[in-house]
Amino acid sequence: MQSHWLDGALQTLSPIEALVYRSRLIGDEPSLGLFGGGNTSTKAEEPDLFGRAHTVLWVKGSGSDLKGCQARHFAPLRLDALRHLTTRRRMSDEEMVRFLERCLVDPKAPRPSIETLLHAFLPERNIDHTHADAILSLANTRHGQALVRRVLGPELLWIPYLQPGFALSRRVFEAYRRRPTAHGAVLEQHGLITWGPDGKTSYQRTIRYVSAAERFFARQRRRVRWSSRRWTTRPPEERMALLRRWLPAIRGAVSRRRKACVAYLDTPDVLEFVNARRMPTLARIGPATPDHMLRTKRLPLIIETRARAATERSPDDVVRQVERYAAAHQRYVLKHRRAGQALQDPYPRVILIPGVGMLTTGKDATEAAMVAQIYTHAMAIMRNAACVGRYTSVSEREAFGVEYWPLELYKLSLAPPEAELSREIGLITGAAGGIGRGIAQMLVDRGASVVVTDLSRRAVEQLAEALNRRAGRRRALGVVMDVTDEGSIERAFDAAARAFGGIDFLVSNAGVATVAAIDRLHQDDWERSLAVNATGHFLVARTAIRRLRAQRLGGALVFISSKNVTAPGKEFGAYSAAKAAQTQLARVLAIENGEFGIRVNIINPDGVFEGSGLWKAIAADRARTYHLPPSRLEAYYQGRNLLKAKVLPADVAEAVCFLISQRAAKTTGCMLTVDGGLREAFPR
């Protein structure tokens, strides 16, 4: 690991700005700590309310991330008040949190880190605390203390494991008082602390010790094979075939309490770990640092498969394994919980499958990827530790103490409230068109994740990129799909499974139109309309229904149909007949799938011009049908409805959002008009 410190950078910075500079350097290194892991501080003389000098401790706020942090993520506290606590013998967490709040110089500051007292008690000016992979690899080994001394030298204190909080802060302070010349401390099964009179010293000590540990493990890995291989990686198509069978069952099982997104990762590092003979033993020992548990839980679920066996485990068997994991988690909670502690989601966040890779879960793809990233670091730590001895972790009781620690759970409460369609995943056909795009945008705005499909790769990829930018998270995937091609449909649903774990709803929207009186209609045009507007909906819906049923989470299908179904127009035979077939298809789907909790509904829009490729293609012909100049066509449609309303893609999108949401939980087989009111097209 390299130092990225620039000597000139601090010249004009205030103490808090210098702390932000240093914290960002640390946050930019994923192998020093991930997603809110680690914290930093500085002590500075500042005037108080009356202009008198006093010392302020600036420490990172609870739950914020060092990566990209800003001054507003740090809390300023009165150091003299905090230092009074060094004479206290014990203090409860609740008392500590209240005390810290009352020491805040700025009442609007974030809640200070749970490790604040550690920073306050040590008299050193600048302190950095990280959960560095290479240090954890030493600190999580059976003879960790001796190993730390051998590899990192005598200047670091060794602190046996204690849960973060008041007692740990005192323990570190006492060790420091016995040896004030130390450069820092290694916290067993937890991480590294370094300090220094200035930020540069503190930062560079972190880099120096972490680099020394990294060099040590690089040498060890060259000399020692950490494990022999027990399983072999299946070929990609076999892995996909297995996931196609298992993923709906797994996503269904882990979503019993709250729906989860499931991401799949099969990088060489992940495959090496899951295929190793020692993997099941290592992975069942415990977390690499308590901080990881907030996202990964204490243990992963390991689904073992027999190598090259002809008969694979059935999806039902995999579901039983997920349920067994949840039952074991419930027993663990019942065994250790204290009054007032409620069971959190008992389902696994990390699932390891030998020969196949790793699945991780989260509220969306961004969170699932976060879990995957954390566990990838945990794998590296376990691999390192296994090279030099026996990997160790905190005891089950200690793990529970952190996993269900209210101060740790507080970090999760800082996330914004979830939107109505959060955790819902859907696939939209014809998404590059005006209506499709409008639907995709509103779904993402309401919290859903979407797979946007259409014929043009460029169009769907651009749309997905724009949607992800809009959401600020990974919530859309662009996939090329031809609704008339079964292979293409299967591939698109596979891509959805790989990225999000499955789907909860389908918006079957792709359509084409031709204008011609039936006596002049070419057979090719008739067949093209049936292929896209009828058969296309059948093929996509059939795949969606099969996958939804396998997931056993219910689901929703919404068909974008047309006003023409109830009130056909002349010279629109090919379109109207195919749309009528689509509508009847939807109704039969509703009849056949009620018992599976899958709702199927139809939206009949009329005259939606905005951004529409379909209208661009037929506007001139349609205008001729009504003896109008093409420029008057839109006004004609608007003028013929009862509300004299211009129907927009957003109006159709609103109806889609309603029909897939729980607000429409009792509605299936319904036809909803979005046409401004057309008497002849009233559904009956």
Task: Give the dihedral sign, CA 574/576/580/583.
Answer: positive
Closest CA to 664 of 655, 673, 651: 655
Per-residue tokens: 621:
């012909």
Distance (Å) of CA 366 to CA 423, 500, 536: 12, 10, 32
d(C-alpha 267, C-alpha 277), whole Å: 18
d(C-alpha 502, C-alpha 543), whole Å: 12
d(C-alpha 286, C-alpha 2), whole Å: 30
> 641 Cβ partners below 8 Å, 6+ apart?
606, 607, 647, 675, 676, 677, 678
Beta strands in 222-379 (DSSP E): 261-265, 301-302, 350-353, 357-362
Closest CA to 357 of 239, 445, 254: 239
d(C-alpha 421, C-alpha 430), whole Å: 21
d(C-alpha 406, C-alpha 132), whole Å: 24
d(C-alpha 479, C-alpha 461), whole Å: 7
Q: Tell the burial category of 56 from Cβ atoms under 10 Å away from its Cβ (0-12, 13-18, 19+).
A: buried
d(C-alpha 475, C-alpha 469), whole Å: 9
How many Cβ atoms are within 10 Å of 78's Cβ, its own excluded? Answer: 18
Residue 599 one-letter amino acid: R
User: CA end-to-end span of the chain, whole Å?
Assistant: 71
Q: How many residues does the chain have?
A: 684
d(C-alpha 259, C-alpha 250), whole Å: 11
Per-residue tokens: 135:
């240090």
d(C-alpha 352, C-alpha 338), whole Å: 31
d(C-alpha 362, C-alpha 360), whole Å: 7
Q: What's the Rg (C-alpha) of the chain?
A: 30
Is 209 assigned a catalytic role?
Answer: no
d(C-alpha 188, C-alpha 135), whole Å: 10
d(C-alpha 476, C-alpha 427), whole Å: 10
Closest CA to 11 of 200, 161, 178, 144: 200
Distance (Å) of CA 642 to CA 144, 604, 610: 79, 15, 20
DSSP H/E element including 454: strand 449-454
**Which residue is catalytic, options 161, 264, 332, 575?**
575
CB 21 within 8 A of CB 13: yes
CB 497 within 8 A of CB 535: no
> 257 Cβ partners below 8 Å, 6+ apart?
345, 346, 347
How many Cβ atoms are within 10 Å of 432's Cβ, its own excluded? Answer: 22
Say which DSSP state 677 is in.
-
CB 550 within 8 A of CB 495: no
Half-sphere exposure of 116 (CA within 13 A, CB side): 33
Distance (Å) of CA 226 to CA 278, 372, 384, 414, 508: 8, 22, 8, 40, 51
Which residues are known to be catalytic? 575
